[in-house]
Amino acid sequence: MSYTKKEILETIRMTELEHFDVRTVTMGINLLDCGHEDPVEVGRRVSEKLTRLASKLPSTVEEIAERIGIRVANKRLAITPVALISTRPTPDAYVTIARAVDRAAEEMGFDFVGGYSALVHAGMTKADEALISSIPETLSSTERLCSSVNAGSSRTGLNMDAILKVVHAIKETAYRTRDRGSIGCAKFVVFANAVEDNPFMAGAFHGTGLEECVVHVGVSGPGVVCQAIKRAGTCDLRELSSVVKSTSFKLMRVGELVGRDVAEKLDVPFGVVDLSLAPTPELGDSVGEVLEAMGLQRTGACGTTAALALLTDAMKKGGVMGASQVGGLSGAFIPVSEDANMITAVREGALSLEKMEAMTSVCSVGLDMVAVPGDTPESTLAGFIADELAIGVINHKTTAVRVIPAYGAGVGDTVSFGGLLGEAPVMELKNLSCEKFVGRGGRIPPPITSLKN
Amino acid sequence: MKRDALVTAVTEIILKHVPEEREDSSLESMVADLVRFIEPLTADSSAEPTGRRLVITAIGRDQVGIIHAFSGILAERNVDILDVNQTILRGNFAMMMIVDPAASNVSFQELKEAMKSRAEELGVKVYVQYEDLMRAVSRI
């Protein structure tokens, strides 16, 4: 049994020309058993456990990647939401733990660890409040920690009290990292319906329903999808969907292969493959470009939401056949700063936050890597976040916001983060107050559609 | 060997030698003990993956002797060439080989290094990888 010339060259083309790589191999680790009254002891236990379970991951992944001929862009860690680790519930306790995690990750060669998180979709415990208060300190004084807060769910509604605490933390983080473009905010996400097995940063955490240790794979490949669409020429929408489906199947198969091999080699359970079209600032690696290849003059034109709906759905359908277990977010990401094409669209005035909000109702996640003016009031940010989370809560999907109120910057400025995080043009938010609305506090009740029993 | 197949095989062997008047329950425990003993001995130990072939792809400027150059390296290292194919790809030469390294005297890394050095001398790009990726993408 051999392979045809076409099959071999197609695979080489995907990996060498179309920027296809496995975006991340993420190990999720349970830290619930590291609790102790003294956070320094927690830090020690966490460090020991992370090192024991994860130290071989980077080299194992490299070895497997080398043998099968695929690049793995990142190796990452996801941990139990830190607010759930039992300890003295004060902000500095959690910062202590964060520092221990950061050090351990640095020694092992991981660039990001997700899970400095709290799940507060119905209410906040003392621990949750303390952790949220500590976010600015942690994100400005550590390199690798990524943080998230789940502030809404279709089952419990939208926790406005949590959102109000979160926006305060976001603005404080922006201020504390103001000398680096408020980059701290690029490591924080607020969710509705957060998933427990997302391998991508900044929203990854190791959910409490999962096992001790697990390996997930995140695959992407907007470049591959884009080229496949271009090759398909002027086909109708059904055929276009088919092209995306079969491409997505192939991408997913690679994720399955890598995940299975890594898990087997490390003798750890294999979790999920998350196929999310996630762009990078590199040329030819853009989701915006995919939308344009589908026939839009520019991302943001009329038809964008429909095109994205087709794309996200076709990705899921093709992906489902390709992997033994599909999970995470699986769909399309639209992070502004990480997509050369989206940045252009914003600069030209083609893409606004309002249009992006509409797009999030049909794509995987939400308003990602959007920079807004540094002087945006907390109440406006709260309304901004509440809008996005409401879309998720009512429609039983995951939505999220990763917003950067860039300190000292206004509309028209560009904030630069460097590397994978790219650069973002500061976008306009309406200068109208919602303070009286969000200031009421409390919780927006869950939709009646959640009463499914 | 799969467990079910092992249980069946052991049972048959015992029945061949043991008189039929024996009680069923002792037969069961005999089979169970034997299977428990034998199973770990037949477990696969996966150090180097065996039975996997390599796909070698070379792309570059068309010139005399490319296939000869690479097949020479493979022959020196006792790597069995199973299939060779070539095509012209937008003015460039593309060579594809499927090879079996099972009888080879060198490691995957060494083979890859040797191929890469030769490729550099010839001014072509070479990719050496296990067939897993191609199989994953092209076969259900």
- pTM for this predicted structure: 0.87
**What pLDDT is stored for residue A399 in this prediction?**
95
d(CA B88, CA B122): 17
More confident call, B37 vs A140:
A140
Per-residue pLDDT reduced to its tens digit, A300-350: 999 999 999 999 999 999 888 888 888 888 878 888 888 989 999 999 999
In a domain, B130, yes or no: yes
Element (H, E) at B31: helix B24-42
The mean per-residue pLDDT over the stretch A394-416 comes to 95
Tell how far CA A84 is from the center of its chain. Answer: 21
- Total domains in chain B come to 2
Question: Hey, are the CB atoms on A3 and B89 less than 8 Å from each other?
Answer: no
User: What are the φ and ψ backbone dihedral angles of B16, each rounded to 5 degrees?
Assistant: -65, -35
- Shortest CA gap B113–chain A (Å): 12
Residue with tokens 């308003």: A367
CA distances (Å), A134 to each of A123, A143, B127, in order?
18, 15, 49
Question: Hey, are the CB atoms on A69 and B46 less than 8 Å from each other?
Answer: no
Number of Cβ within a 10 Å radius of residue A158: 24
**What pLDDT is stored for residue A3 in this prediction?**
85
Check whether residue B58 and residue B38 sit in a common domain. Answer: no
- How many contacts (CB atoms, under 8 Å) link A and B? 65
In a domain, B84, yes or no: yes
Check whether residue B73 and residue B129 sit in a common domain. Answer: yes
Minimum Cα–Cα distance from B55: chain A residue: A8
Check whether residue B69 and residue B134 sit in a common domain. Answer: yes
**What pLDDT is stored for residue B8 in this prediction?**
84
| Complex ipTM more than 0.90, yes or no | no
Per-residue pLDDT reduced to its tens digit, B33-57: 888 888 777 655 444 455 689 999 9
Check whether residue B73 and residue B37 sit in a common domain. Answer: no
List of residues 6+ apart from A115 with CB closer than 8 A: A77, A78, A79, A80, A81, A82, A146, A148, A204, A205, A206
Question: Hey, are the CB atoms on A250 and B137 less than 8 Å from each other?
Answer: yes
Q: What residue ranges define each of the domains in chain A, with the CATH number in brackets? A: 25-221+251-281+324-453 (3.20.70.20)
In a domain, B68, yes or no: yes
Token pair for residue A64? 């497997």
How big, in percent rounded to 5, are the helix, strand and coil portions of chain B?
Answer: 50, 25, 30
Check whether residue B87 and residue B132 sit in a common domain. Answer: yes
Chain A, 238 to 267: residues with Cβ < 8 Å from chain B are: 250, 253-254, 256-257, 261, 264
Check whether residue B75 and residue B118 sit in a common domain. Answer: yes
Check whether residue B58 and residue B117 sit in a common domain. Answer: yes
Instruction: Give, to the nearest 10 degrees, the angle between helix A91-108 and helix A39-54.
Output: 20
d(CA A443, CA A3): 58
**Average of per-residue pLDDT values in chain A:** 94
Q: With cut-offs at 50, 70 and 90, classify the pLDDT of residue B20.
A: low
In a domain, B47, yes or no: no
Minimum Cα–Cα distance from A8: chain B residue: B134
Check whether residue B65 and residue B121 sit in a common domain. Answer: yes
DSSP string, A304-350: HHHHHHHHHHHHHHHHHHH-SSB-SS-SB--BSTT-HHHHHHHHTT-
CATH number, domain with residue B134: 3.30.70.260
Instruction: Give, to the nearest 10 degrees, the angle between helix A353-360 and helix A304-322.
Output: 40
Q: Which residues of A touch B129 (CB under 8 A)?
A: 67-69
In a domain, B49, yes or no: no
Cα atoms in the 13 Å half-sphere on the side-chain side of A190: 33
Check whether residue B25 and residue B62 sit in a common domain. Answer: no
Mutation target to probe the A interface, by most A beta carbons within 10 A, among B134, B139, B140 is B134
Check whether residue B17 and residue B62 sit in a common domain. Answer: no
**What pLDDT is stored for residue B48 in this prediction?**
45
- Are the C-beta atoms of B62 and B90 separated by less than 8 Å? no
**Which of A38-47, A91-100, B11-20, B115-124 is predicted with the least confidence, judged by mean pLDDT?**
B11-20
Tell how far CA A368 is from the center of its chain. Answer: 8
Q: Which residues of B touch A11 (CB under 8 A)?
A: 133-134, 137-138
Q: Is the pLDDT of residue A407 over 90?
A: yes
d(CA A435, CA A405): 17
d(CA A148, CA A255): 25
End-to-end CA distance of chain B: 24
**What pLDDT is stored for residue B45 in this prediction?**
44
Element (H, E) at A153: strand A145-153
More confident call, B2 vs B31:
B31
Question: Hey, are the CB atoms on A9 and B89 less than 8 Å from each other?
Answer: yes
Range of the domain at B27: 3-42
Of the candidates A2, A10, A69, the beta carbon closest to that of B129 is on A69
Per-residue pLDDT reduced to its tens digit, A225-262: 999 999 999 999 999 999 999 999 999 999 999 999 99
Q: Which residues of A touch B56 (CB under 8 A)?
A: none
Minimum Cα–Cα distance from B136: chain A residue: A253
Strand partners, B87: B94
Angular region, A115: left φ>0, alpha ψ -120 to 50, beta rest: left
List of residues 6+ apart from A411 with CB closer than 8 A: A373, A426, A427, A428
Question: Hey, are the CB atoms on A67 and B138 less than 8 Å from each other?
Answer: no
List of residues 6+ apart from B76 with CB closer than 8 A: none
d(CA A45, CA A98): 12
In a domain, B48, yes or no: no
Check whether residue B66 and residue B25 sit in a common domain. Answer: no
The mean per-residue pLDDT over the stretch A220-224 comes to 92
- Shortest CA gap A260–chain B (Å): 12
Check whether residue B128 and residue B66 sit in a common domain. Answer: yes
List of residues 6+ apart from A236 with CB closer than 8 A: none
Q: Which residues of B touch A70 (CB under 8 A)?
A: 133
Per-residue pLDDT reduced to its tens digit, B58-113: 999 888 888 899 999 999 999 999 999 989 887 889 999 999 999 898 999 999 99
